[in-house]
Amino acid sequence: GGQDECGATPPDQEALKLVPCVAAGKDPDSKPSDRCCAAVKEIGERSPACLCAVLLSKIVRRVGVKPEVAITIPKRCDLADRPIGYKCGDYTMPSLQLKD
């Protein structure tokens, strides 16, 4: 069941909260905005699986965000409690120590 990661809300709907992250999801060298980081933190604290589903959701790809870039946003936001090493689909959430 791919619909349960975010509870009652479909990941595509949760993804709307991450609209401020679109630029950061396209450019791996950009600094995510405060609003983006706040949204990522809010979803990530509630459920890493939900954040994962949102970052890899169809709607996110449709606006041109690359999943492999989106997955680095929690790290680029310096979120202390982000799910490091968390398997997210085909991707693993990078840690701060990791230099790709």
Structural domain boundaries of the chain? 11-92
Residue 93, token pair as written in the block: 């959430």
Q: pLDDT tens, 80-97?
A: 776 667 777 787 776 544
Mean pLDDT, to the nearest integer, of 19-42? 94
* CA 87 – CA 32 distance, rounded (Å): 22
Q: What is the pLDDT of residue 77?
A: 92
Give the pLDDT band (50/70/90) at residue 38: very high
- Domain 11-92 CATH assignment equals 1.10.3720.10: no
Q: What is the pLDDT of residue 100?
A: 39
Q: pLDDT tens, 51-82?
A: 988 888 888 889 899 988 998 998 899 887 76
